[in-house]
A = this chain, B = another copy of it.
Amino acid sequence: MYDGIVQDLIDELGRLPGVGPKSAQRIAFYLIETDNDSASKLAAVIREAKEKVRFCEVCGNVSEGTKCGICSDPKRELSVICVVEESKDINAIERTREFRGLYHVLGGAISPISGIGPDQLRIKDLMKRLADPGIREVILATNPNLEGEATATYLTRLLGAMEISVTKLASGLPVGGDLEYADDMTLGRAFEGRRRVN
């Protein structure tokens, strides 16, 4: 469509998740037409991130050092590990300020269709961490979808024999949502997980 390099840029941008052909074109022209600084800063920061960002050797979170900020924070509770699929889930949980324990990033969820089984996830590393007798609780915080649920079920069985309490995040109606618009599954889960309030 376009002259060589412009099309190359559109193609590369189009490979990014959530960026369709129209957005790729829009971003490409923005980068070309904007002042030089912003585009070269983006190029530099991509390179720098690829060079410097590693994964925490304890929990698998993104980190610039060998241990991430959370694993090296002396104020965190060492007795609770929250298991998540991706590093970005940690950020979402941290924002709630509800949790002060440690994390473990699986690096995905069990998905036979995508060829991801338990061996492709960081489950062995999790088992090694759980050998520490100081750990009281494992919170399963995988996504509430097919793959996430399968992973949670797998982990529940695997951890069943151990003397650690395994908990799972509550499923139910989202806060601020409308009962009328809740899907059947969510509403069903909300009933299943109903709590006595008096």
Binding site for B on A (CB under 8 A): 1-6, 8-9, 12-13, 15-19, 23, 25-32, 36, 38-50, 52-53, 62-64, 68-69, 86-88, 91, 94-95
Contacts and interface: CB of A to CB of B under 8 A. Distances in A.
Given A3-B68, A39-B50, A69-B3, A29 B63 contact: no
23 contacts: A1-B91, A3-B53, A3-B62, A3-B63, A5-B48, A6-B62, A6-B64, A12-B42, A12-B45, A16-B30, A16-B31, A17-B27, A26-B88, A29-B62, A29-B87, A31-B49, A32-B49, A39-B46, A39-B50, A40-B47, A42-B46, A43-B44, A43-B47
B48 A46 contact: no
